[in-house]
Chain A
Amino acid sequence: MVAESMAAQAQKPRWGEMEDEEAEDLDFLLPPKQVVGPDENGIKKIIEYKFNDEGHKVKTTTTIRVRKLAEARLSKRAIERRSWGKFGDAATQDAAGDNRTNVSTEEILLERPRPPGSKQEETKASGDPFQVSKAGGVLMVCRTCLRKGDHWTAQCPYKDLAQPNFMNKPPTPDADKPGLGKNTYVSPALRDKGPGERTPTEMRRRNDENSVRVSNLSEDTREADLGELFRPFGTVSRTYVAFDQKTGMSRGFGFVNFVSREDAERAINKLNGYGYDNLILRVEWAAPRAT
């Protein structure tokens, strides 16, 4: 059920694409409402489409589990007790619909423990909604065009052509460079650069320059979430969330390093002041590391 709702979320337009799309209010273009199930597990799915306020098409998948209450095997005595009359305050005070017993509106999960401050590589692989298909298998995601399930990044037909358009990237001078054919791989660190050798320290400094400080994060935000939030703006080389060593709780800020400065700038412009997890994010250039 979790994978389902996440998949529904993934249908919403991403932040990086928001202004690139043309607003449409053509309700008749929407696919009709679908009801699937209930299947043998009692899972019933309702898929609805609508345009939201910003004119984006939103797919809402509601998953309902139809459960038979009396599936448990009960003893004779227990069945007899079922028909007992109410007594005490239950008889006098519990009218129908008095909300004495409620089913939580919130889905509570058995949360698996996470060592504080850990890099979360495993959960990234398994918990990332973009990589998990409905069937539970790994879904292909193209980082260039963000298309899911179609092809891998390396096989992207838009690899050279569409990247600038998709991500609003300024045209890279790569193609003009001598010795760099259209299909040759250029390491991210060397893209957008003039000729000349670079020492590792220079690259490091450069990386620090593209570091974006994100503060006012909610405590539940992890590295993976930051990556998810910032990836639409460009290739992210590092995400980091600061954890308090004593309590193991998030300290409410983190850093995201972009490969290119332009992406970082766009991310700052777009996400500074963006409401994330009911807090308003503050996104700015990270202060240079004191050395």
Chain B
Amino acid sequence: MRPILMKGHERPLTYLKYNRDGDLLFSCAKDHTPNVWFADNGERLGTYRGHNGAVWTCDVSRDSTRLITGSADQTAKLWDVKTGTQLFSFNFKSPARAVEFAVGDKLAVITTDPFMGETSAIHVKSIAGDLNDQTSESVIVIKGPQGRITRAVWGPLNKTILSVGEDATVRIWDTETGKLLKESDKETGHQKSITSLSKSMDGTHFITGSLDKSAKLWDIRTLTVIKTYVTTAPVNAVAMSPLLDHVVLGGGQDAVNVTMTDHRAGKFEAKFYDKILEQEIGGVKGHFGPINALAFNPDGKSFSSGGEDGYVRLHHFDPDYFNIKI
């Protein structure tokens, strides 16, 4: 396959997100402006100008009208997808890290980093259908875990919130009461900071990637480890194919360490694993730095990767990809 290279960012990519229909691709980077691209040919549709710091994550509503972004400028912003105008800004006392719309787009979860005496926190905001009713009041604020919360997503029926973070633990919280319901087992769970989390299309299981050079597949209700995928480099990004039983891990050594270690140990590959057999299927090379973001098109026929090198690479699979047998 010949990937499409999209150079819209001047700084390392942080997050990639397809909309539900799979025709738009949103990209966030450490420069301050998220981009939106047409997912078939990679043409840039627009940019969302207004943040004043690195943008860590974004999410798009199911009807593809609204975008929410979390940024290091201590805000999370709502955007109109079509025009790029800023609709609302949630202000925090520390950088916003992870954002996600709940099922139904009536709620959004936003996590904030520990910063200047503030501890990390998970905020739930209600998203008003009418913009004039939008407030910045939190429905609930959950505090507790130490260290940065790198990703927070909604559990089934919005009843729970899952969070992962630098303390290598996956936690399930009750949305109503804010109580901790479950915590991942120290023995079977990750050993180092969890960098990424991605839910399956049907929301029954999810995958986490960690700096301990592995990714794990979890049951979303019981929080048991179903599968473990071991790789050779720290994992920064994970994605699950909605079509085939494949998972993709992206990563590579820390950019900080590139000059200090042997040149051979780069490994800036997106690695494909069989979801069930835990076996490596193959690797897609191309980035000149670690892969920070991965996303599968909801149709499963293309995927994109964003790297420390500032490029988004959009890969449309060759026909033989769909016939791979182990």
- Given A89-B33, A111-B284, A112-B281, A78–B6 Cβ distance below 8 Å? no
Interface centre among B4, B22, B47, B281 (most CB of A within 10 A): B47
Knowing that A89-B46, A101-B41, A249-B264 are A-B contacts, what are 5 other residue pairs whose CB atoms are under 8 Å apart, sorted by A's residue number? A78-B21, A88-B84, A108-B2, A108-B3, A110-B317
User: Known contacts A82-B23, A100-B44, A103-B4; is A110 also within 8 Å of B264 by CB?
Assistant: no
With both beta carbons as reference points, the residue of chain B lying nearest to A249 in the complex is identified as B264
Q: Quick check: which of A67-75, A192-200, A280-288 contacts chain B, the rest being far away?
A: A67-75
- Nearest A residue to B316 via CB reads A67
Which of A74, A89, A102 contacts B7 (CB under 8 A)? Answer: A102
Give the complex CA separation of A94 and B36 in angstroms. 13
Question: How distant is A88 from chain B, measured CB to nearest CB, in Å?
Answer: 3
Chain B contributes a number of interface residues (CB within 8 A of A) equal to 51
Q: How far is the CB of A120 from chain B (nearest CB, A)?
A: 16
Shortest C-beta distance, B246 to chain A (Å), equals 10
- B161 at interface by CB-CB < 8 Å: no
**B317 → A minimal CB distance (Å):** 8
A123 interface residue, CB < 8 Å from B?
Answer: no
- Decide yes or no: A74 and B21 within 8 Å by CB, A99-B7, A108-B285, A112-B282 being known contacts: yes
Chain B residues near A100 (CB-CB < 8 A): 6-8, 44
| Chain A 167-210 per-residue mask, 1 if CB under 8 angstroms from chain B, else 0 | 00000000000000000000000000000000000000000000
Q: Is the CB of A101 within 8 A of B44?
A: yes
Asked whether A104 lies within 8 Å of B5 as measured between CB atoms, the reply is yes
- List B residues 168-223 near A (Cβ within 8 Å): none
* A101 and B2 form a contact (CB under 8 A): no
Evaluate whether A111 and B282 lie within 8 angstroms (CB atoms) in the complex, with A88-B48, A90-B44, A244-B264 already known.
yes
B73 vs chain A, min Cβ distance (A) = 17
Alpha-carbon distance between A106 and B318 when the two chains are bound, in angstroms? 14
CB-CB nearest 10 A-B residue pairs: A88-B47, A87-B46, A78-B23, A110-B282, A87-B84, A89-B47, A101-B42, A88-B84, A90-B44, A88-B46
The dominant DSSP class at the A interface is loop
* Interface flag for A113 (CB, 8 Å): yes
Q: Does B255 touch A at the CB level, under 8 Å?
A: no
Q: How far is A11 from B121 in the complex, measured between Cα atoms in Å?
A: 65
Is B245 close to A, CB under 8 A?
no
Q: Mark A101-137, 1 if CB is under 8 A from B, else 0.
A: 1111111111111000000000000000000000000
Cα distance A107–B4 when bound, in Å?
A: 11
Interface residues of B in 11-39 (CB under 8 A from A): 21-24, 33, 35, 37-38
Does A219 lie at the interface of the complex (its beta carbon under 8 Å from any beta carbon of B)?
yes
Contact between A81 and B1 (Cβ–Cβ < 8 Å)? Answer: no
Does the CB pair B284–A110 fall under 8 Å?
A: yes
Smallest CB gap from A76: residue in B: B21
User: Counting CB contacts under 8 A, is A84 at the interface?
Assistant: yes
Interface bits A50-89 vs B (CB < 8 Å: 1, else 0): 0000000000000000000100101101100110101111
Q: Is B268 an interface residue (CB 8 A)?
A: no
B2 touches A104 (CB 8 A): yes
B22 contacts across to A, CB distance below 8 A:
78
